[in-house]
Amino acid sequence: MNPIDLLYRMVKIRSFPGEEREIAEFLLEASKGMNFDHAYIDEVGNFVAIKGRGDKEIYLVGHMDTALGWIEPRIEGDLLYGRGSVDAKGPLAAFIVAVSEAEIPDYLRVVVVGAVEEEGPSTGALHLLKKVSSFPSYLIIGEPSGADGVTLGYKGSLFIRKSFLSDVSHPASGNDGAIEEGLRSIERIRKLLDELNRGKEGSIDRIDMKVREITSSSDGLTEKLDLGVSFRLPLWIDPDELLSLLGDGWVATFKAKAYRCDRNNPLVSAFNRAIRRRGLTPKHKVKSGTADMNLLAPVWGCPSVAYGPGDSSLDHTPREHISLKEYLLSIEILKDVLSSIPPTL
């Protein structure tokens, strides 16, 4: 199967969070015709493919799930449209093809992972943290950076929920109910963030907030407001610290600290060289989103980057599409990186 056919068939498979089994089985079958030593689906549904038997291990961790919202896959000229083409089946397909085709040094063992539920509770990455007892020497996360881009880090995340309850009262009574209480709580949080962000310049160094859910209900006797709020966090504040400042009643449903790697680590250097060999200038990036890098890299403590073809501004949008020329270029860059990673850190 050629690289474009692989990606197109991956994009044709719906794989929303928690519904990745079909694409995992497709990748397992496809891997049989590729140059891997071993491939399997693990206990939580991650697709795993391994090549090489060296004592230095590198993990390439992408994800199979996509954001919600179906886009009918189609190819128009150089562009492949479809949900997940950028985030992040393009990067995962590039990983699979590059590892299959690359000349792997004798000292390397390469593990490709298509993780489940990266767009949700990061079940796949959390499973890796439990199962991988010997930490790898290198980590590449599969997320769109552009073929000439290298992502050095991501902001952290905090997702919270709270329910507000009150007795129903007549509109003319002047009594505030659950809805008013909830809206006041949001306003207090906004004022807190204004104070915390004072003097911080640029979105990477500021706390960002978004109300993700607001639902009200009443049974005629009581009224209820459910709020869901998300935050993107810079390096200078961690999720638990912010949660402690928000007041009682808020429950965290997801937490991940911000992460940024050393731009001088040997993995970044390998990408810089590979990109320059194609006549391009490497672009180092720090993203305002959050990825499995935030969970894996701090624990494993190895040189890490995120890399993959695609324009991340198209993530989760109705216009999501990827340049096939860029996708093929990223495969060549990855092959170059894999063949030139140093045996010692």
**Catalytically active residues, by annotation:** 65, 118
Count, residues in the chain: 345
Instruction: Report the distance separating Cα 328 and Cα 183, nearest Å.
Output: 49
Q: Label residues 67-91 b or e (16+ Cβ within 10 Å = b).
A: eeeebebeeeeeebbbbbbbbbbbb
> Hey, what amino acid is at 223?
E
Token representation of residue 59: 């993990």
Q: Where are the alpha helices (DSSP H) in 13-163?
A: 21-31, 89-101, 123-131
Instruction: Report the distance separating Cα 34 and Cα 72, nearest Å.
Output: 27
In terms of Cα–Cα distance, which of 227, 219, 215 is closest to 166?
219
Cα maximum dimension of the chain: 79
Burial class (CB in 10 A: 0-12, 13-18, 19+), 132: middle
- The backbone torsions φ and ψ at residue 298, rounded to the nearest 5 degrees and listed phi first, read -65, -35
Yes or no: say if 271 and 150 are a contact pair by the CB < 8 Å rule.
yes
Beta strands in 6-54 (DSSP E): 38-41, 47-51
Instruction: Report the distance separating Cα 58 and Cα 154, nearest Å.
Output: 20
- For residue 57, give the H/E element and its range: strand 56-63
Pairing of strands 222-233, 208-218: antiparallel
Tally Cβ neighbours within 10 Å of residue 124: 28
Burial class (CB in 10 A: 0-12, 13-18, 19+), 187: exposed
